[in-house]
Amino acid sequence: MSSELRELYQEVILDHSKKPRNLREIAGGRKADGMNPLCGDRATVYLELDGDVVKDASFVGKGCSISTASASMMTEAVKGRTRAEAEALFERFHDLVTGDPSKPGTGGADLGKLAVFSGVCEFPVRVKCAALPWHTMKAALENAPEPVSTE
């Protein structure tokens, strides 16, 4: 990755961590709690489903800049998608941050803005920070009763 691209990616992550999008609750929506004990990140993800489509997505929580930026961008990314699309996006995002070269989609070519997290795979400790909001989103989709933990 060029240093210019890296800088741009860092800027996007910084912007979302300072000004998180969709930082609110959704009354009557589905929700799930997630935590990453390794870093101390906590996130509650809210989803409003219209049939099979994610009509609205939001989160509240407290965490490091990576987890906050990831939660902010996750809510933007899944809005308007079907459950299956949101789950597929999670799989691709997970492959991106874990940097598994055997999986298609690595490199983030079709992830759009989420590609900014491609640098995270170089920092294994940060992978769980980036993945936490996604794991929590999936639990909310499934109406999982138990809180999600990355450990």
Chain residues in the site for Zn ion (CB under 5 A): 39, 41, 64, 67, 129
Q: Phi and psi at residue 43, in whole multiples of 5°? A: -145, 135
Separation of alpha carbons 49 and 22, rounded Å:
16
Q: State in angstroms the smallest separation of the CB of 63 from Zn ion.
A: 5
Nearer Cβ to Zn ion, position 33 or 41? 41
Enumerate residues 6+ apart whose C-beta is below 8 A from 75.
21, 22, 45, 57, 58, 59, 133
Q: State in angstroms the smallest separation of the CB of 144 from Zn ion.
A: 21
Nearer Cβ to Zn ion, position 77 or 129? 129
Nearer Cβ to Zn ion, position 122 or 142? 122
Q: State in angstroms the smallest separation of the CB of 19 from Zn ion.
A: 18
Instruction: Give the residue from 94, 128, 84, 89 showing the smallest Cα distance to 112.
Output: 89
Nearer Cβ to Zn ion, position 39 or 49? 39
Q: State in angstroms the smallest separation of the CB of 34 from Zn ion.
A: 12
Instruction: Give the residue from 24, 42, 32, 19 showing the smallest Cα distance to 128.
Output: 42
